[in-house]
Each structure stands twice: as structure tokens, then as C-alpha cells.
Structure 1
């Protein structure tokens, strides 16, 4: 496999499938063999000049072809279990659009099946492959901001109200996958509370807020909204030493690292002097905007999929990372049903051995 291109089939020619086609065609070590969709004409239109790529309306035909070593799935979440399981049972490596599956239980089945067969199962958590998030990952996990104290993310815009999922399941996976990618291994979600509203009568939450309790006393917050006329994509990661602001809509300065914050100081003595009673001090330092090597995130993600297959290693966004996102989403849905009560988040490491080992 490492000496010959990886034969890839993209499953789904809808919104996201064409992006996978374009980036697969541009990824060294990959050869796009098929674009599969129930609407074959739509698949042909997407392929356009890619005359060497076959359009097919049959998943069975694609999976039966020995030239196909891997599949990239861009179909609705409700179909992920069926399509991904069929691919794994056919011996194909699998890249699947977020979320991994419609439920945590279905995601566990896919992770277990991939592990039994020694196949790569990877999540298309595209934001994790942006230059900004990769820099954040190195900075936060490397201790560059000190101890993590809080994370605050806003992802709002006038978006498409989905017919099958609420705004949490549609948008929050982006923020949750980023959190899980950049946080140190000893900082993990333990409980989540969710609040949502449906002001337009869509039958599902269109505006929602998540609050995550993390180990070590840190807190994370996510605001997602389909109804905002203004698009905002910001994240603040506060640490004991530095604070980072990520504004994804500012390409000239996506990241700003502030040496500013609040430090606790010990109180000395019992006098009336304000300095002896103070327990905090304020730090004002420089702001640094690091230069980022901007590349298309989806191209980087596709290269990681190819490398994980040829090197026989787990990808950055593997099946377990998908389970972690699903565990938070399911706990958030339970919290919504319980009026916003904190609900425990399942740790995938505590799953049965055949899934978590």
C-alpha cells in the first residue's frame, strides 16, 4: 500500500462530497476511483473533467472493487452506521464526516469493528487540521499558556435549519472536537449542562448554550446559533500564564496571544493596608500575533488519512475522538431534556475492552 496509491471512493455527492473529491485528487499517494451517490447524474456533474473517476449509484459495486482500499463518507449522520460498517466489513479503511454516528452506541460498534479488522477509522473533524488549531494544540498542550482555566467558544450565523438534528448536533461538534484536540491529556470533560430554545417553532433547538465541567476545575462554554444575522467564529482559551483569542474570520490575524491576566497573591498580615488584604493582582503584558502557515485544512486532513493508512498508525482524529464528541452530545441532549441539569460525560476509556482497548 505504501508503494502504490491508495484507491479511494467518496460516498455522497451532496454538500460535502465535492470538497472531498477535490482534495482527494490533490493528495499525493491517493487515487480517486469512484464517486458514489444514489443520484448518479449528480455524481457525474460533480466529477466534471475527472474523466478517470467513475460515477456509481451502487455502494455494493464500489466496495467489491479491489482497487478501492478506502472510502470517505459524506452522507447524512443517520446512514453512517450502515455505510461505514459495510465498508469496514469489506476490508476498507474509513473516513467519515462528523459526527461519527447518530448515537454513541452506533459509534462504539464502528470503533470495535475497525479495531477487530485492523483498519483505520478516522473522523473528518476538519477544524482540527487548520493552521490555527494546530498552533493552539502545540501551545496549550506544551504548557505555553500555563494551566488551562477556561475555554469560551461562539459559533453563530444565519445558518441552515437542519431537518433531522438540532443546532447542538449540527454545529457544536466543531467546537467540541477542537477542545478535545488542544486540551492536555489530563484535562477532560466530566459533566455537561445544555440550554436551548426554539423561537421559530422549528421543532428543535435553534439556539443553544453548552457548559462543560473539566477536570482540574476548568470550565468550557459553547454558544451555537442558526438564527444570528451576524457570523461570529471566535474562541478564547484562558490560562494561568497567557490567554489566546482565535478569530477565524480575521485571516490576517487569526490568533492573538495575550500576556495579560489575573494572578492570585498571598495576603500577608491582618492590617488595614489594602496591599495586605489583596488576593489578586493584574498582569498587563505584550500581545503577540504568531504567523501561521495557512493551508487548506481539508487537504491536510486528507493527507493525514493517507499517512495513517500507509504508516499503520492512529490518525489525529481517530474513532475514539469521535466517541468522545458523541458522549458529550448525548449527555447534552439528556441535559436539555432535564431542563439544563448537569449530566455526566462518559469517558471512552471506560468502555468495554473490545471498544476502548
Structure 2
């Protein structure tokens, strides 16, 4: 089992002598992004997908030294590969992650780890039995601007926070599992575990749920507001936070600002490396050091617990049901 000591630091780099050989399953839009960053930090030996010609052509042109297969079992059985990166449809995550772990590979699996606690537990158990690293792709935990906010609020905790995400698209997966998982992960990392959730708005558009406003409640009467709209072409992703001392912070895409006494925003940190690259480095470093990653299976399970509660409360009349969550 990996070391249960302090988590591997965000953006940790590994020495050139410790090159990890990786196989990637999934070559969609996000899978290609993961191939890009892992190819810079490791050796991507083989990629697997269902065999669509456009993806095969892209791989041959962008990464001519990387082999392609449509057989995921061949990826698991490949003795060259030490780690498997999974970027497939959400419903396939637990089964593929368990199979990769049982074949002796370390696993990076895109969020969410699973859409049920039972699914999460099956993957965590497989990682424990195999004594391999399990890393869940909660990318924003590796954003340097949010990391700076996390460090600043260790001794001045956040009392109020508003997360807003407006974009257009990604209708192929449920909003709560594809997008809300990101906002919940940020909240858990910066604030802690909520004790309840209240649905303020849940509207359909392209699918049964495309606009969501939810309030997460915490012990001490703290409240966190999350708003997601995936039908808005204006594109906005921000985090606004107010601490116990009254300090106000604003984050957007790696840049952290603080509101001054003169009511002017001043930049206090700008990320120099993209979050996805820092995330890949953290996974590879966890393999080398044996230390548990920040976004390990237990963290992924906690995200699933909160998101599942929000999903349950989105059903008609369900928002009045007792909460199944317990605040930390």
C-alpha cells in the first residue's frame, strides 16, 4: 500500500532517471490533452480507443512514436507499462480502473472516480490489494492560484465562497458528474466537508439538467454557493472567497487577486505552469516516492458522496429530504 504520510506536493517534479512508462485509455478531447502532458513528463508507450480513424491519424501525427491499439487488455498486459491513464466515459471508470490495478499498474483515472460510493470502494479496495497508487483527476487541486489561496486561508479560514462556471457544451455527460465534481472538489479542498445541500435552481435545456445553483451548508453557519450554466456562451469560471478576517479573494484560471482597502483588486499570484501539467507531474511523483497523492481514492470517494447527494436532491420534491451528509 502507498505511504499514508503527507501527500505529494502539487506540481512536484520527478528526476529524469525515473521515467515512468504510461498507457492511455481514451483519446477523446480530454484524453488528447492528457496524452500531451504525459508525453512531456513520461514516456507514453501505447494509447487505446475504439478505433475511430480521426483519433488514430491524430496520434500518428502528434505522437509518431506512440503505438495504438483497440484492445484495452493489451494495455493492461503490457509489461513495459507501469501506469495507466484512464480518460473514458464516466460510467466506465470503475471497471477499467479495477482491471488496471489488478494487472499491477498504477492508475490515474479522470474524475469522477465513480458515480456511487460502492463503485469508489471497489476501486480503492483494488488499489489497496495491488499496493499501487490510485490518483483521481481533480485538476483544479493542482492550479497554482488556488493552491496559493489554500495556503493563505490555512490560518484565516473561508467563511463564504461563490463558485461560478458558465460555458457552452459538454452535454454528453450529466452536469453533476461532468462539471459539478470540479466545484465540489475545490470546495472540499478549500473549506471542508459540507453538512447539507439545498437546490436553488435546476433547469433543463439541451438535457434534463443544464443550469444548476446549489448552496452547500457547513457547521458554523458557513455557506458556499455554486452556479453552473453550460448553455452560456460567455465563458466564465471564477471563485470568490471571503475569510473570517474579512479578506476577499478572486480567482480565475490560475490568477489570484485580493481586494485592497481602497477597493481595488490586486494580483497576488499568477500560475506559471498549467494545472494539468502539474497534475501529471504529481501523479508521476507519487509513483516514484510512494506517497499518497492529494487527490487519492479517499478524496475521490468524498467528492462522489457530495455530488450524489446533490443529484438526489435535484429530483422533484427531494430537496426537503433529510441530508445524508455529515460536515467535517
CA-to-aligned-CA distance 1:246-274 (integer Å, 9 cap, x gap)? 133xx7xx3221256xxxxxxxxxxxxxx
Match of 1:26 in 2: 40
Structure 2 residue 120 is matched with structure 1 residue 107: yes
1:191: Cα distance to partner?
A: 1.2
Structure 2 residue 292 is matched with structure 1 residue 341: no
5 Å-filtered alignment, 1:232-243, equals 232-241=236-245, 242-243=247-248
Given candidates 296, 299, 308, the residue that maps to 2:277 is 299
Structure 2 residue 98 is matched with structure 1 residue 85: yes
Structure 2 residue 238 is matched with structure 1 residue 230: no
CA distance in 2, matches of 1:314, 1:348: 23
**Which structure is higher in RCO with an 8 Å CA cutoff and minimum separation 6?**
2
Match of 2:6 in 1: none
Structure 2 residue 24 is matched with structure 1 residue 10: yes
- Contact kept? 2:85, 2:108, Cα under 8 Å: yes
CA distance in 2, matches of 1:67, 1:257: 48
5 Å-filtered alignment, 1:131-150, equals 131-141=144-154, 143=155, 146-150=156-160
1:326: Cα distance to partner?
A: 0.5
- Contact kept? 1:97, 1:123, Cα under 8 Å: yes
CA-to-aligned-CA distance 1:107-157 (integer Å, 9 cap, x gap)? 12111211222111111111221121111111112x2xx232111111012
Could you list the runs of 5+ residues in structure 2 that have no partner in the other structure?
A: 1-13
Could you list the runs of 5+ residues in structure 1 that have no partner in the other structure?
A: 261-283, 350-357
Distance 1:59 1:318, change over 3 A: same
Match of 1:315 in 2: 293
Distance 1:285 1:296, change over 3 A: closer
CA-to-aligned-CA distance 1:38-69 (integer Å, 9 cap, x gap)? 11634432322523211011011111111111
CA distance in 2, matches of 1:244, 1:320: 28
CA RMSD of aligned residues (A): 2.3
- Contact kept? 1:168, 1:329, Cα under 8 Å: yes
CA distance in 1, matches of 2:204, 2:109: 32
1:37: Cα distance to partner?
A: 0.7
- Contact kept? 1:328, 1:346, Cα under 8 Å: yes
TM-score (norm 1): 0.81
Match of 1:279 in 2: none
Task: State how many pairs are aligned.
Answer: 311
CA distance in 2, matches of 1:299, 1:71: 16
Match of 1:278 in 2: none
Bigger radius of gyration: 1
Match of 1:56 in 2: 69
